Amino acid sequence: MAPKFPDSVEKLRAAGNESFRNGQYAEASALYGRALRVLQAQGSSDPEEESVLFSNRAACHLKDGNCRDCIKDCTSALALVPFSIKPLLRRASAYEALEKYPMAYVDYKTVLQIDNSVTSALEGINRMTRALMDSLGPEWRLKLPSIPLVPVSAQKRWNSLPSENHREMAKSKSRATTATKNRVPSAGDVEKAKVLKEEGNELVKKGNHKKAIEKYSESLLCSNLESATYSNRALCYLVLKQYTEAVKDCTEAIKLDGKNVKAFYRRAQAHKALKDYKSSFADISNLLQIEPRNGPAQKLRQEVKQNLH
């Protein structure tokens, strides 16, 4: 006797999610497909729901190694709701599996325009950069398809999504970051990290701090042993008023080099902006023990001192 399927889109999607969690990807794909047919038969215009169903079915295809159907469903999802992170990441993974590295690079890069801290996209960019350098040579960037410019509205939409989406992404970031930190970089990785760091430095000189963060992040994925890369990225976070991120990067920089004066100074600036004057004063004091005649630090100490009393 054939199993009785739920009859509403919501119940079909929930059943598909349950099957997916249980590793029954073919069954989940069938349930998402049935939900799509019910939704389309109703004739109701709900592009977000339809996009999610295509994206979920794409995840099933990806798990089953059916990359072409994954790409097709992700493209359908993105046609309904452009610049959605999950279908972009799934399509990038499928392109990568098919060795269509330029297309994968574009999708990973698009994700980073929406949220430049998605570790799976940063790692994907790192892998694609290596593959493209190997296959297309030093001029590989000139041979890429055009990368779409993500409108501010799409970034705002991502920031306003329910918190569970961000929690799920944060878990993924945390797992990937731990794996990266535990990996010992090869000599080639260290060299690539230096090149990417220099590219970041050039972007800072041009005032493009957001793009510079991407370069420094790519560099740190190749090798996370360079103190200056963390303190350089911290500078970008300071300029963009992302003070908590600046504090974190300066702390990592100081762990690697306890005499990194720039890291102490930038962390002091970030603490001051966060109104944590005690921590700011402590950082300036540590800095002045290393460089007693550092003028900017002496000036910052006076400013912080006024807020301590």
What are 235-277's pLDDT values in tens digits?
A: 999 999 999 999 999 999 999 999 999 999 999 999 999 999 9
In a domain, 109, yes or no: yes
SS3 6: coil
219 or 166, which is more confident?
A: 219
pLDDT of residue 2: 46
Which residue bears the tokens 């460089």?
A: 291
| Sign of the torsion angle spanned by Cα atoms 271, 115, 14, 24 | negative
In a domain, 132, yes or no: yes
Q: Which of 99, 127, 148 is the last residue of a domain?
A: 148
Average pLDDT, stretch 136-154?
84
Q: Give CA angle at 257 (252, 258), nearest 5°.
A: 95
Q: Which of 126, 148, 170 is the last residue of a domain?
A: 148
Please give the span between the terminal C-alpha atoms of the chain, in angstroms, as a whole number: 79
pLDDT of residue 4: 53
For the entire predicted model, the pTM comes to: 0.56
Which residue bears the tokens 């497909």?
A: 33
Tell me: do 60 and 113 sit in the same domain: yes
Distance (Å, whole) CA 193 – CA 209? 18
Tell me: do 121 and 207 sit in the same domain: no
The domain that contains 200 carries what CATH number?
1.25.40.10
Q: How confident is the model at residue 176 (pLDDT cuts 50, 70, 90)?
A: very low
Judge whether residue 141 has pLDDT over 90: no
In a domain, 2, yes or no: no
Tell me: do 141 and 43 sit in the same domain: yes
In a domain, 139, yes or no: yes
pLDDT of residue 163: 44
Residue type, 283: D
Judge whether residue 61 has pLDDT over 90: yes
Tell me: do 230 and 121 sit in the same domain: no
Judge whether residue 59 has pLDDT over 90: yes
Judge whether residue 157 has pLDDT over 70: no
pLDDT, tens digit (0-9, with 9 covering 90-100), for 202-215: 999 999 999 999 89
Other beta carbons within 10 Å of 68: 10
Tell me: do 302 and 236 sit in the same domain: yes
pLDDT, tens digit (0-9, with 9 covering 90-100), for 7-42: 788 999 999 999 999 999 999 999 999 999 998 888
In a domain, 33, yes or no: yes
Which residue bears the tokens 């359908």?
A: 76
184 or 301, which is more confident?
A: 301
Give 222-237 as a DSSP string.
H----HHHHHHHHHHH
List the alpha helices (DSSP H) in 99-161: 101-114, 119-136, 152-159
pLDDT of residue 179: 46
| CA-to-CA separations, 186 to 64, 131, 176, 192, 225, in angstroms, rounded | 32, 16, 18, 10, 12
Distance (Å, whole) CA 17 – CA 115? 25
In a domain, 103, yes or no: yes
Residue partners of 117: CB distance under 8 A and separation at least 6: 173, 217
Judge whether residue 291 has pLDDT over 70: yes
Tell me: do 35 and 140 sit in the same domain: yes
pLDDT of residue 6: 64
Tell me: do 128 and 192 sit in the same domain: no
Tell me: do 206 and 144 sit in the same domain: no
Tell me: do 59 and 117 sit in the same domain: yes
Q: Which of 124, 148, 172 is the last residue of a domain?
A: 148
In a domain, 1, yes or no: no
Tell me: do 131 and 206 sit in the same domain: no
Distance (Å, whole) CA 94 – CA 90? 6
Other beta carbons within 10 Å of 110: 23
Average pLDDT, the chain: 86
Q: For the chain, what is the domain count?
A: 2
Distance (Å, whole) CA 278 – CA 271? 8
Range of the domain at 235: 187-307
Judge whether residue 167 has pLDDT over 70: no
Judge whether residue 77 has pLDDT over 70: yes
Q: How confident is the model at residue 126 (pLDDT cuts 50, 70, 90)?
A: confident
Distance (Å, whole) CA 28 – CA 23? 9
